[in-house]
Amino acid sequence: MSTGFRLFVLLILISGNTFAQKDSVLIFYKDTVFINRGKAIDWDIIHKQQQNLTFTGTRIAQAPSDKYDSTGTISLSGYISCYYGMYSDTSNAAGFQKFPTSAPKTETFSLNIVQLSAAYRSRNVRGIFTFHYGDIPHCAWSNEYNFIQEANIGMRVAKKLWIDAGLFRTHIGLESIQPRENITYSLATTTYYEPYFLSGAKLTWNTSSKLTLQVNVFNSFNTFNETNKNKAFGIAALYEFNPNLSVTFNTIHCDESPVYAPIKQSRTYNNLYLVYKSKHIDLGAEANFGIQQHSKLSDSMQTAIMFSGLLAVKYKFNAKYAVYSRVEYFYDPDEILTGPVQNGHHQLVGINLLGLTTGVELKPIINSYFRLEGRYLQTTSDEDIFLLNNKSSHQRWEIITGIGVWF
């Protein structure tokens, strides 16, 4: 970290008088700035923030706070991700590809995301605020809270029991919206249709070093705002067999029907994923199963189902060089999650999609990456939902290169 940057951060803190207390200490550890207002510094937590972030963005268990004292520690962090993408699919009127999130524009250098975070942790209180900007929030985030990725506060109510409330990043699914937390730069189709953000409260019970349980209540499925006065309820469980292997189960139940809809469409979405990480291999596997009442296209009184999954693996030759691949499948024949989708003949179709992604990664330093990847998506022949030179197609090719760094 440059001396100029250190002085810049120090001047901000002094001028704002935010942390101008006698017991405040400004700490520079590798590439992260920490403002410690107490005597206890959890160097283990600080060090882990610089390590392998793959599949950490959707963990239901936050870092333990037992090592902090009552005064607590504040950490500042940032992340920048830029890209260049090429798609065979024709862009929509907004300039984005179908399923737009990471790298949503074609044939242009652009900013995927830039974000700044401030996190506070003490023995009994924790909180985080993250501001973000770029193509990801522009094409895939809340319109009302477009600049806020997360903003929530937690309090300890018992020795191993915490309650957190506010605006959250999703805990559902293997992949997050931040490329640094995924094996691939692009997001799988199943990730696109899972919730990205939620607003509500979480009750988390760290029953042991291996098992964490959580009960959730949110305003709605994939929105910060309430849509119809029906809350979404869920449970989650994380079991860590050892430091390298863990499995997580999430379920969420909701009713996204309009307030005055004559027929209600109750939905239950179940998500299961496994993570394995070692010196040379990162692996993630996800399976999903959803049902929704009164939603079958052929008979609106029947219950519809969907299922999807992905398998992603990265092989690390050493700390700098790696290759990776992902296979994905998404099947939603009655449009439970996709909503109305038309093929090239203007017929409503559900999505039955298979995808393959492969790429290479270079990490000049541990908190950075350069990735180059190719991706192929294919639906069934009657689901020509893509446009190739403005002609209907059931295939899409992608080439994406992306760089990122965080501090």
pLDDT in tens, 229-278: 788 999 999 999 999 999 999 999 988 777 777 788 889 999 999 999 99
Provide the b/e sequence for 175-196 (b: ≥16 CB within 10 Å).
bbbbbbbbbbbbbbbbbbbbbb
- pLDDT, residue 316, reads 97
Rounded Cα gap, residues 113 and 238, in angstroms: 29
Q: Round to whole Å and give the CA distance between 134 and 27.
A: 29
Q: What is d(CA 43, CA 46) in angstroms, rounded to the nearest whole number?
A: 5
- Are the C-beta atoms of residues 194 and 172 closer than 8 Å to each other? yes
Tokens 């937590």, residue?
A: 45
pLDDT at residue 203, rounded to an integer = 96
Q: Residue 402 in contact with residue 134, Cβ under 8 Å? A: no
Low-confidence ranges of the chain (pLDDT < 70): 1-51, 63-67, 342-346
Of 401, 394, 357, 405, the residue nearest 98 (C-alpha): 394
| pLDDT score of 66 | 66
Q: pTM, whole model, 2 decimals?
A: 0.84
CB-based burial of residue 209 (10 Å sphere; 0-12 exposed, 13-18 middle, 19+ buried)?
Answer: exposed
Closest among 150, 153, 155, 154 to 167, alpha carbons compared: 150
Looking at residue 72, what is its pLDDT?
A: 82
Contact by Cβ (8 Å): 193, 227: no
Three-class SS of 172-212: CCCCCCCHHHCCCCCCCHHHHHCCCEEEEEEEEEECCCCEE
- Which two tokens mark 74? 């504040």
> Tell me, what CATH number does 59's domain have?
2.40.160.10
**Domains in the chain, number:** 1
Helix, strand or coil, per DSSP, at residue 308: strand
Residue with tokens 């700390």: 319
Over residues 158-179, the pLDDT tens digits come to 989 999 999 999 999 999 999 9
pLDDT at 364: 94
**CA 220, CA 11: separation in Å to the nearest integer?**
42
Residue 4: phi, psi to the nearest 5?
-60, -40
Q: How far apart are CA 407 and CA 8, in angstroms?
A: 14
Task: Compute the distance between CA of residue 111 and CA of residue 107 in angstroms, rounded to an integer.
Answer: 13
b/e sequence 360-399, b meaning 16+ C-beta within 10 Å: ebebeeebbbebebebebbbeeebbbbbbeeeebbebebb
Give the pair of three-digit tokens for residue 171: 């805990």
Q: Domain containing 377: what range?
A: 3-406
DSSP label at residue 52: -
What is the number of other CB atoms lying within 10 angstroms of the CB of residue 278?
Answer: 12
Q: Distance of alpha carbon 217 from its chain centroid, rounded?
A: 19
Sort 218 into a burial class: Cβ within 10 Å, 0-12 / 13-18 / 19+: buried
